[in-house]
Amino acid sequence: MLGHRQALNELSQTDWDLVVIGGGITGAGILLEASRLGKKTLLLEQQDFAWGTSSRSSKMVHGGLRYLAQGDVGLTKHSLHERERLLVELPHMVVRFPYIFPIRQGSFPGRIAMTAVLTMYDKLAGVSDHRWISRDKLLQQYPILNDEGLKGAMRYTDALVDDARLVLRVLHEAVLEGGTANNYSQVNAIKSTSEGFNLTVQDTLTGNSVEFNAKQVVNATGAWADILSATNAKVRPQRGSHIFIPAAKLPIHDCLTVMHPDDNRPVFIYPWKGQTCIGTTDLDHRESVNVEPFCTSQEVDYLLKVANKQLPSVSLTRADIISTMAGVRPIIGSGTGNDTSKERRDHLVWTGSHGVVTVSGGKLTTFRLIALDVLHALSIINDKQLKNAQSNRKLRCFNHHVEDPCDLSSPLAQVPSNDQLKTQVEWILKNEMVQHLDDLMLRRIRAGNMMPNGGAEILAVIKPLCVQYLGWDESRWQQELARYQQMIARSYSVPA
Ligand SMILES: Cc1cc2nc3c(=O)[nH]c(=O)nc-3n(C[C@H](O)[C@H](O)[C@H](O)COP(=O)(O)OP(=O)(O)OC[C@H]3O[C@@H](n4cnc5c(N)ncnc54)[C@H](O)[C@@H]3O)c2cc1C
């Protein structure tokens, strides 16, 4: 288990076989696979684990129907195999879920095209899960659906997850396999030496810098990858935003996939942790990646527009929105200036002039495969081992039991009662390296997104637990509260 954060001075005493920079899903997956192979591996994250894109995704473990429709059979097939593996290995955390794709007169794709794509999708996954729903049945299920030109819908399945909790689950597994991970540890410089690499690492809680030695280093910093890669820039940062609506206002029980009236892009409307989520947008992100992203006013309008077009009787307004969430996709740019949603979602592994291997791009779903590619690039595994690990569908990724108090990690869990919440938070504070109130509220229990005002109503339950388990006094609590409230106002609220 992750346990408590260690002082950087202590960690720097070890000569590490491998240092992984970046504590999102990609870094966590590499830490797990390398540790499993007996490599003395340390992961360093500049903020909190999953603080980057890996807590801000659409939370789908999926093959990506869109990628198959774009002809990316390989990416879809690998993602589907990983989906099926995760469904078996983490059944409480990765949940198979019905997706409903309404089809209207004259719209594309129609029933024939969707049936063809879904037949292949299911075949690649090794399941048989799609079927047609008639117009009458669909309207019985969703009387709020716009019935204009409605012919029926294709139903298929994919899976939902709590992305940040998946990262934590992978980190727990990695630590149980002998790995080490530290948050609030920023790598600021990398030098190659005769024995490997020397890293300058700053403790972002104290400001102190410490030197580390490692035989090998991986830069798994996603949207930040170009900063440390020592090559020409390869990442095209793209922002995707979501809005959360109370389930009572927008009661959706499946993942509705609807086409946006402005640009015919698919947008998902689905239940998540007791509320309803709508997303995503897809735009070039021109702001600094070092500033926490936020959903803009135009993105809110774009998402409300598709919901109101498809579900007009609900009449959603900005006043209905509980919270917003924006993330930056680390897309490997084609350099063609393509429409953002048409860029490929594959990952890329490359080596910089200092000899450090960098990885960026890819998906939450394929973290295990990305990790294997990185270990291959580092020559930790050979071609044969890579092929076997990629294609052996019986190979397990998770072998250890990790507690999940009161359904903490289920993507479909309802907002917990105060007693359940207390049990969850006590367990988290003992086991998951919380340093700030926002670590707990935004990435461990997700209350910052799922409850109005960033979950202000549960702070009375949270405060005594932080005092007891983290040793915070009144002044520290007030500092943490102010920091958290600023963050909620800036990056998780409805913009003016
Ligand atoms: C809107 C949106 C929706 C998406 N939906 C899905 C989906 O439904 N399913 C799916 O499979 N994928 C989805 N994705 C893609 C997926 O979320 C990303 O591919 C994945 O999370 C990237 O993980 P990562 O670890 O590479 O990057 P990150 O999660 O961003 O992790 C990189 C980490 O590196 C850290 N870092 C940066 N610089 C340093 C440094 N100098 N020292 C130490 N640490 C550093 C950062 O703080 C960050 O935490 C979506 C992405 C977006 C944006």
Query: What digits encode the pLDDT tens for the residues 260-273?
Result: 999 999 999 999 99
The β-bridge relationship of strands 16-21 and 209-219 is: parallel
The pLDDT of 453-479, averaged and rounded, is: 98
Confidence category of residue 69, pLDDT binned at 50, 70, 90: confident
**Distance between CA atoms of residues 194 and 454, nearest Å:** 50
Chain centroid offset of residue 4 CA: 23
**What pLDDT, on a 0 to 100 scale, did the predictor assign at position 75?**
84
pTM: 0.97
How far is the centre of ligand 1, averaged over its atoms, from the C-alpha of 467 (Å)?
31
What are the C-alpha distances in Å from 259 to residues 108, 243, 312? 9, 17, 14
Output the pLDDT for position 335: 66
Whether residue 22 has its Cβ less than 6 Å from ligand 1: yes
Helix residue ranges per DSSP H, 145-292: 163-176, 225-228
> Which residue is closest in CA terms to ligand 1's atom 4?
57
- What's the distance, CA 286 to chain centroid? 21
Q: What's the 222 CA to ligand 1 centre distance in angstroms?
A: 5
Mean pLDDT over each residue of the chain, to the nearest integer: 96
Whether 237 is in the pocket of ligand 1, judged by its Cβ within 6 Å, is: no
Tally of helices (H runs) and strands (E runs) in the chain: 16, 18
Calculate how far, in angstroms, residue 443's C-alpha sits from the geometric centre of ligand 1: 13
Contact call for residues 238 and 283 (beta carbons, < 8 A)? yes
Alpha helices in 57-125 (DSSP H): 65-69, 73-89, 111-125
Pocket test for ligand 1, best of 8, 19, 30, 54 (most atoms within 8 A of CB): 54
Of the candidates 55, 29, 489, the one whose C-alpha atom is nearest the C-alpha of residue 218 is 29
Helix axes 367-377, 25-36, angle to 10 degrees: 60
Q: Which two tokens stand for residue 462?
A: 């949270």
Domain ranges of the chain: 8-54+164-234+342-391, 95-159+236-324, 409-492
Our answer on whether the CB atom of 76 is closer than 6 Å to any ligand 1 atom is no
Per-residue pLDDT tens for 221-253? 999 999 999 999 999 999 999 999 999 999 999
Residue (of 248, 298, 299) closest to 278 by Cα position: 299
CA 460 to chain centre: 29
Strand pairing partners for 256? 100, 269
Through-space distance between the first and last CA atoms of the chain, rounded to whole angstroms: 42
Domain spanning 8-54+164-234+342-391: which CATH class is it, in words? Answer: alpha beta
281 within ligand 1 shell (Cβ under 6 A): no
CA of 389 to the centre of ligand 1 (A): 23
Q: Nearest residue CA, atom 51 of ligand 1?
A: 57
Amino acid at 201: V
Structure tokens at 333: 């740019």
Nearest to 54 by CA among 34, 28, 85: 28
If one residue of 58, 241, 347 were mutated to test the ligand 1 pocket, choosing by the most ligand atoms within 8 A of its CB, it would be 58
Q: Which pLDDT score is estimated for 154? A: 97
Region of 428 on the Ramachandran plot (φ > 0 left; ψ -120 to 50 alpha; else beta): alpha
More confident call, 415 vs 203: 203
- Spatial contact of 360 and 52, defined as CB atoms under 8 Å apart: no
pLDDT tens digits for range 153-167: 999 999 999 999 999
Q: What are phi and psi of 437, to 5 degrees?
A: -60, -35
Q: Which helix (H) or strand (E) holds 327?
A: strand 323-332
Residues 390 and 381: their CA atoms lie apart, in Å, by 12
Closest C-alpha to ligand 1, atom 9:
60
What local confidence, expressed as pLDDT, does residue 232 receive? 94
Beta carbons of 180 and 41 less than 8 angstroms apart: yes
Q: Quote the DSSP letter at residue 463.
A: H
If you take atom 3 of ligand 1, which residue's CA is the nearest one?
57
Ligand 1 atom 15, closest CA? 363
State the distance from the centre of ligand 1 to the C-alpha of 40, rounded, in angstroms: 24
- State mean pLDDT over 76-90: 95
Is there an atom of ligand 1 within 6 Å of 327 CB? yes
Mutate to test the pocket of ligand 1, among 56, 182, 224, 269 (most ligand atoms within 8 A of CB): 224
Between the alpha carbon of residue 351 and those of residues 8, 41, 213, 326, the distances in Å are 27, 19, 19, 30
Eight-state DSSP code of residue 54: G
Any ligand 1 atom below 6 A from CB of 341: no
Q: Looking at this protein, which amino acid is placed at residue 149?
A: G
Q: In which residue are the tokens 């410089």 written?
A: 189
Could you tell me the pLDDT band of residue 496, with boundaries at 50, 70 and 90?
confident
Distance 103 CA to ligand 1 centre (A): 33
19: nearest Cα among 1, 35, 49, 41: 41
How far from the centroid of its chain's Cα atoms is residue 53's Cα? 6
Decide: 222 in ligand 1 pocket, CB within 6 A. yes
Burial class (CB in 10 A: 0-12, 13-18, 19+), 193: exposed
Q: Which CATH superfamily, name and number, covers 95-159+236-324?
A: D-Amino Acid Oxidase, subunit A, domain 2 (3.30.9.10)
Ligand 1 touching residue 365 (CB < 6 A): yes
Partnered with residue 41 across adjacent β-strands are 18
Least confident segment among 66-70, 355-359, 464-468:
66-70
| Cβ(54) – ligand 1 distance below 6 Å | yes
Q: What average pLDDT does this structure show over 399-411? A: 96
- Length of the chain (residues): 496
The pLDDT of residue 107 is 87
Tokens of 201: 């690492």
Q: What single-letter DSSP state applies at residue 353?
A: T
d(CA 464, CA 471) in angstroms, rounded, equals 10
Supply the residue whose CA is at minimum distance from atom 14 of ligand 1: 57
Rounded (10°) angle between helices 73-89 and 111-125: 60
